[in-house]
Amino acid sequence: MGGDFGPSVVVPGCAIARERYPDCRFVFFGDASEVRPLLARHPALEAVAEVEHTDVAVRMEDKPSQALRQGRRRSSMWMALEAVKTGRADMAVSAGNTGALMAMSKLCLRMMPGIERPALAAIWPTLRGESIVLDVGATIGADAEQLVSFALMGEAMARALFSLKRPTVGLLNIGVEEVKGLEYVRAAGQMLREGGLPIAYAGFIEGDDIGKGTVDVVVTEGFSGNIALKTAEGTAKQIAQYLRDAMGRSLFSKIGFLFAKGAFDTLKEKMDPRKSNGGVFLGLNGLVVKSHGGTDAEGYAAAVALGHHLARNGLMKKVADSVDHYQKDRASAQEQHPEVAHS
Amino acid sequence: MGGDFGPSVVVPGCAIARERYPDCRFVFFGDASEVRPLLARHPALEAVAEVEHTDVAVRMEDKPSQALRQGRRRSSMWMALEAVKTGRADMAVSAGNTGALMAMSKLCLRMMPGIERPALAAIWPTLRGESIVLDVGATIGADAEQLVSFALMGEAMARALFSLKRPTVGLLNIGVEEVKGLEYVRAAGQMLREGGLPIAYAGFIEGDDIGKGTVDVVVTEGFSGNIALKTAEGTAKQIAQYLRDAMGRSLFSKIGFLFAKGAFDTLKEKMDPRKSNGGVFLGLNGLVVKSHGGTDAEGYAAAVALGHHLARNGLMKKVADSVDHYQKDRASAQEQHPEVAHS
């Protein structure tokens, strides 16, 4: 069981999730001598939990290739994925090594037909609620085709997560006139606009549109997506620090802080990164949720809740249908206009 | 005279700058019938200002190619750049069309030898003070060579702007283990680490390191740089809105707000985007400062102050020396080990 803190976060996190979602059942893959005593402290969770012992764990510092060589089949990560593959579990949640999780997921669960590489979709709190941003770092250097598949998968996820009928989809781009975006972003924009896809494509958006919540689904290639996500996290921390510094500066501001404590608590909750913990790997034949490695029990519970919600709302089928539909459309376009396929 | 508000912002902005930097002199290129009456309201500025009339202006919505065709030679933008070229001015400041400004700058001032395309360098407020981030959108799809030249130019700018002897330079990358960065970012990292360059290269950094101020100079390709910048702006606005909402919610929080007004003012100042207004085009044979198009007089004054500071501290010479040094090193390496040049 991975993450920076292993079972000591995962088990209490699942205990919180169990309380909120009484229909959840859990299988823990890891060192039984660590997991069982922790479970004993949470009888309600223990009652719906199974433990599969293994003492092989992928370490946070392992390279994916290393993890695959050493940990395949016997590691807790692999076993959790296999439980999804065999249908024993509806989803796998891991706070472990992201690269290894992705590599193992691809190998164990395989990609959906027509999807080359997975995308990691994050939940981004916005002024209008929440948006989905993908890819935040699973695949770097995506091409136009891949961006279109990200759009389809993200849109399906927004339908499952936000219960929206027609979530809007934007393509992240830059606004300097001279150089309106990279070639492949422009090409993806054209495909989304003119491709007759069954999604509400809203055009290009810029970085500041993400926080505004201009669209429900923000599509971007993984390098820029990861940089956007981390930069936003950094900015939020920076402002929180400014705020703490400012409020502690004088007696007046300290008194003000006490009066406005409720307001600050609301703000803190709004900005709590644990609330939006959990990214989803899309494009796999199975639901895999990645929790932040450094999160606590509350954050881990949020990742479980995300997966639970998505499993309940048929994410896998929605994504598969969307992708399948697109593949068929393309195949028939290819038959009728072979040259289109190469455009 | 460009920007969203033209001379009505530029002239009062320069009046503020004139007050703060009494050694500045100004040449205004634009519609004299608009500029002169505005100048008349600021006698101290008027005393050190010249007006060069033209009624050709590049519009914000013009495409750069259009601007070049129509506005070349007779537009206020071109005339301002030519004043830099001929040595009449130490720098040009524009709030106009970014793409047109870049295209005209390249054509009028030309690139420094060995630099292919300019980089737009932004000043980024951090927890440790300020950092320089480049490129934030002048050049997209840079290669390893270009990232190295960005590093050299940004480092020279940090010496001029922050009076640092050995500013640290980091390369923006992503931390997902599987896919540690794009090829060209890795290649640039290697060149910076092993190339014997006279700069303090600190390695890869991630998006959240920007706000922390981990390094003095953040180097990235323009697409991801622009997305990082806009995303940070968006996040700052989002949190400011959360804060306003929270403080207005109850009587207690309103009272708290009044007590802590001084603290909030400090915070507001810290987060004031006008303070860090102004990007610098690096790599040109002349100093060109781009002000945000939608800024006000205070913001415009900050852009003038930035250029003034850089001109004072010999930015152009520092950048040219750095680039020149590198070119010579490369040329001699090429002579000695011709195969290195193609690596």
Q: Between vectors from CA A25 to CA A19 and to CA A26, what angle results, nearest 5°?
A: 100
Q: Which whole number is the average pLDDT over B165-179?
A: 81
The pLDDT value recorded for residue A318 is 94
Q: How do B129-134 and B119-126 pair as beta strands?
A: antiparallel
Of B177, B241, B257, nearest to A97 by CB-CB distance is: B177
A20: three-class secondary structure by DSSP: helix
d(CA B233, CA B231): 5
* CATH 3.40.50.1820 for domain A113-275: no
Q: Which amino acid is at A216?
A: D
Q: Which whole number is the average pLDDT over B46-54?
A: 95
A26: three-class secondary structure by DSSP: strand
CATH number of this structure's domain A1-110+284-312, picked from the four choices 3.40.50.10490, 3.20.20.70, 3.40.718.10, 3.30.70.20: 3.40.718.10
Best-predicted range by mean pLDDT among A71-80, A146-155, B325-334? A146-155
**Optimal mutation site among B61, B124, B177, interface A, most CBs of chain A within 10 A:** B177
The pLDDT value recorded for residue B342 is 46
| Contacts across the A-B interface (CB distance below 8 Å) | 259
**A159-168, A297-306, B180-189, B203-212: range with lowest mean pLDDT:** B180-189
The pLDDT value recorded for residue A126 is 92
Of B178, B253, B267, nearest to A260 by CB-CB distance is: B253
B307: three-class secondary structure by DSSP: helix
Q: What is the ipTM of this complex?
A: 0.87
Give B319 to chain A, closest Cα distance, Å. Answer: 24
Chain A hits for B126, CB-CB cut-off 8 Å, are 238
pLDDT at B178 over 90: no
* Mean of pLDDT over chain A: 89
- Residues B172, B224: contact at Cβ < 8 Å? yes
The pLDDT value recorded for residue B32 is 94
Chain A hits for B292, CB-CB cut-off 8 Å, are none
Give B301 to chain A, closest Cα distance, Å. Answer: 23
**B25-34, B260-269, B287-296: range with lowest mean pLDDT:** B260-269
- Dihedral (Cα; A193, A195, A199, A201), 10-degree rounding: -10
Give B32 to chain A, closest Cα distance, Å. Answer: 28
pLDDT at B288 over 60: yes
Closest by CA to A291, choosing from A13, A57, A12, is A13
**Optimal mutation site among A58, A177, A269, interface B, most CBs of chain B within 10 A:** A177
Chain A hits for B263, CB-CB cut-off 8 Å, are 246-247, 249-250, 252-253, 256
Mention the CATH class of domain B111-283+313-343.
alpha beta
Higher pLDDT residue, A225 or B268? A225
Best-predicted range by mean pLDDT among A3-7, A23-27, B236-240? A23-27
Q: What is the pLDDT of residues A125-164, one digit of tens each?
A: 999 999 999 999 888 888 999 999 999 999 999 999 999 9
For A17, A74, A282, B179, B310, the CA distances from A63, given in Å and listed in that order, are 31, 17, 22, 10, 45
Best-predicted range by mean pLDDT among A10-24, A185-199, B172-186, B329-343? A10-24
Chain B hits for A271, CB-CB cut-off 8 Å, are 239, 242
Chain A hits for B257, CB-CB cut-off 8 Å, are 256, 260, 263
Chain A: residue whose CA lies nearest to B234 = A208
pLDDT at B33 over 60: yes
> Are B249 and A263 a contacting pair at CB < 8 A?
yes
Q: Which amino acid is at B271?
A: M
Measured between its terminal Cα atoms, the distance across chain B in Å is 46
> Are B259 and A241 a contacting pair at CB < 8 A?
no
The pLDDT > 90 percentage for chain A reads 62
The pLDDT value recorded for residue A312 is 93
> Are B137 and A176 a contacting pair at CB < 8 A?
yes
* Mean of pLDDT over chain B: 89
Q: What is the pLDDT of residues B113-137, one digit of tens each?
A: 989 889 999 999 999 999 999 999 8
Of B99, B234, B271, nearest to A207 by CB-CB distance is: B234
Q: What is the pLDDT of residues B193-248, one digit of tens each?
A: 998 888 999 999 999 999 999 999 999 999 999 999 999 999 998 888 888 888 88
Residue A50 has phi, psi (to 5 degrees) of: -115, 155
Q: Which whole number is the average pLDDT over A110-114?
A: 92
pLDDT at A343 over 50: no
The pLDDT value recorded for residue A339 is 53
> Are B237 and A182 a contacting pair at CB < 8 A?
no
HEC sequence for A105-148? HHHHHCECCCCCCCEEEEEEEECCEEEEEECCCCCCCCCHHHHH
Chain A hits for B270, CB-CB cut-off 8 Å, are 242, 246
The pLDDT value recorded for residue A54 is 92
Query: Domain locations in chain B?
Result: 1-110, 111-283+313-343
Reported as a pLDDT band with limits 50, 70 and 90, residue B42 is very high
The pLDDT value recorded for residue A244 is 82
> Are B256 and A261 a contacting pair at CB < 8 A?
yes
> Are A242 and B211 a contacting pair at CB < 8 A?
no
The pLDDT value recorded for residue A268 is 79
- Residues B224, A206: contact at Cβ < 8 Å? no
Q: What is the pLDDT of residues B233-279, one digit of tens each?
A: 999 988 888 888 888 878 877 887 787 778 778 777 877 778 888 89
**A165-179, A269-283, B156-170: range with lowest mean pLDDT:** A165-179
The pLDDT value recorded for residue A341 is 46
Q: Which whole number is the average pLDDT over B295-317?
A: 94
Query: How would you label B188-210 residue by residue, b for 16+ Cβ within 10 Å and e otherwise?
Result: bbebbeebebebbbbebbbbbbb
The pLDDT value recorded for residue A338 is 57
Q: Which amino acid is at B60?
A: M
The pLDDT value recorded for residue B211 is 94
